[in-house]
């Protein structure tokens, strides 16, 4: 997926609002509003904005908080429209839905396997758990054996 570069400046909100108003008045497809809606869905926090900034998708001359609120304000006053990028949105949804295992494993790797000490700690905990479960299995096996071999009166 490719997203074109978006430059955010002091007058960006005014320009985008005027372009959206022009699109809404004409009977043309709503490309600008759809793009603003897409960016509004992608940018929900300053961390999301940082991610887009690092990938070279958004360049802003405003503060992070102002940029996030700009896209939230931009789409607040619009009525629901058929989004031009609905196919892209559906493809992204399907991709994320089908990749849940990869996301889960990536989260485990990021949160728990970030350095060698945490890997060794996880390994030692797994060995200790295996030993405890083996001991429990042995105890229950011995108990079951003595219950079976006990003569009944």
pLDDT at residue 105, as a whole number: 83
pLDDT at residue 89, as a whole number: 72
Closest alpha carbon to 67 in 114, 6, 109: 6
Q: Which residue has the tokens 């940018």?
A: 43
Rounded CA gap, 140 and 133, in Å? 11
Closest alpha carbon to 108 in 92, 94, 97, 119: 119
Question: Going by C-beta distance under 8 Å and a sequence separation of 6 or more, which residues neighbour residue 92?
Answer: 1
56: left (phi over 0), alpha (psi -120 to 50) or beta: left
pLDDT at residue 48, as a whole number: 85
pTM: 0.56
pLDDT at residue 131, as a whole number: 97
Q: What is the CB neighbour count within 10 angstroms for residue 75?
A: 15
Q: How far is CA 69 from CA 13, 16, 79, 81, 135, in A?
A: 10, 14, 18, 21, 58
10: DSSP letter: T
Closest alpha carbon to 123 in 133, 114, 113: 113
Query: Mean pLDDT of residues grouped by 10 in the chain (153 residues)?
Result: 84 89 82 82 84 88 89 74 73 75 82 84 93 97 88 61
């Amino acid at each position: 997926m490719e997203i074109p570069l978006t430059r955010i400046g002091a007058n960006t909100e005014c320009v985008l609002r005027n372009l959206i108003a022009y699109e809404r008045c004409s009977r043309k497809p709503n490309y600008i509003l759809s793009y603003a809606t897409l960016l509004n869905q992608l940018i929900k926090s300053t961390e999301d904005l940082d991610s887009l900034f690092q990938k070279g998708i958004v360049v802003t001359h405003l503060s992070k908080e102002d940029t996030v609120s700009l896209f939230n304000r931009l789409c607040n006053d619009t009525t629901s429209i058929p989004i031009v990028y609905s196919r892209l949105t559906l493809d992204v949804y399907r991709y994320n839905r089908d990749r849940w295992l990869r996301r889960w494993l990536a989260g485990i790797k990021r949160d728990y396997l970030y350095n060698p000490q945490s890997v060794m700690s996880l390994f030692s905990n797994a060995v200790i758990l295996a030993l405890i479960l083996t001991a429990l299995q042995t105890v229950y096996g011995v108990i079951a054996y003595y219950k079976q071999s006990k003569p009944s009166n």
